[in-house]
Amino acid sequence: MSDTADKAGGGKGPSHRGVEIGVAAFLALLGLITIIGSLQVGIGWGLEGPKAGFFPFYLGVLIVIASAINFVPIMMARSDVLFAEWSQLKQVMAVVVPTAIYVAFIPYIGIYVASVLLIAIFMKWLGRYGWSLAIAVSVGVTVLNYLMFEKWFLVPLPKGPLEDFFGL
């Protein structure tokens, strides 16, 4: 087969098969957790008909069975097809990691300050823009958001010490 590395272009990365196995196992685990949780609340008949665990129990069973069936074609698949190149995954992580930090900071510094930081750092770091443009865009967008959500559409968003300081 000549298309072995068509997506990879000769690069390295995790194999598609490996990731597929991981996903199928993860989903089967979710099914198992559903079954256990259902058993805890009862899957039989109670006074008011089917107990709380009745419906989810069978969902869990279906998830486990279907995941098991999904394993069959994965096992027969070639193991040399890449899921993605490491360089591509690095790009993906370049979004996931800053977003995770952003999400973690929102409760403490508020969504507006966190958003300014996220946009500015993202533009500076990944887009290689100058600080002036990065700050202009990030502050501009955030101020617009503040007006749109808090003032025009009356949707309160989490605020932090900075907003308290200005009494907003």
Q: Which of residues 81-140 bind another protein (CB under 8 A)?
A: 83-84, 88-89, 91-92, 94-96, 98-100, 102-103, 106-107, 111, 115, 118-119, 122-123, 126-127, 129, 137-138
Residue 69 interacting with another protein (CB under 8 A) = yes
Considering the complex, state which of residue 4 and residue 141 has its C-beta at the smaller distance from another protein. 141
| Contacts (CB under 8 A) with another protein, residues 43-62 | 45-46, 48-56, 59-60, 62
Between 62 and 164, whose beta carbon lies closer to another protein? 62
Q: Minimal CA–CA distance to 138: which of 121, 113, 152, 120? A: 120
- The amino acid present at 53, given as its one-letter code, is G
Is 154 a residue that touches another protein (CB under 8 A)? yes
Asked if 25 interacts with another protein (CB under 8 A), we say no
In the chain, the DSSP E strands lie at 45-46, 49-50
- Which candidate, 79, 63, 60, places its Cα nearest to that of 20? 79
Determine if 79 is a binding residue for another protein (CB under 8 A): no
Instruction: Determine which residue in the list 3, 153, 165, 166 makes contact with another protein, applying CB under 8 A.
Output: 153
Quickly tell me which residue has 């995941």 as its tokens: 67
Q: Nearer Cβ to another protein, position 59 or 162?
A: 59
Cβ contacts of 149 within 8 Å, gap of 6 or more: 155, 156, 157
163 near another protein (CB under 8 A): no
CA–CA gap between residue 125 and residue 130 (Å, rounded): 10
Pick between residue 46 and residue 161 the one whose CB is nearest to another protein. 46
Q: Of residues 135, 157, 159, 160, which one binds another protein by CB under 8 A?
A: 157
Q: Is 73 in the site for another protein (CB under 8 A)?
A: yes
The total of other beta-carbon atoms located within 10 Å of residue 22's CB is 12
Describe the crossing of helices 16-41 and 54-76 by its angle, rounded to 10 degrees.
Answer: 160
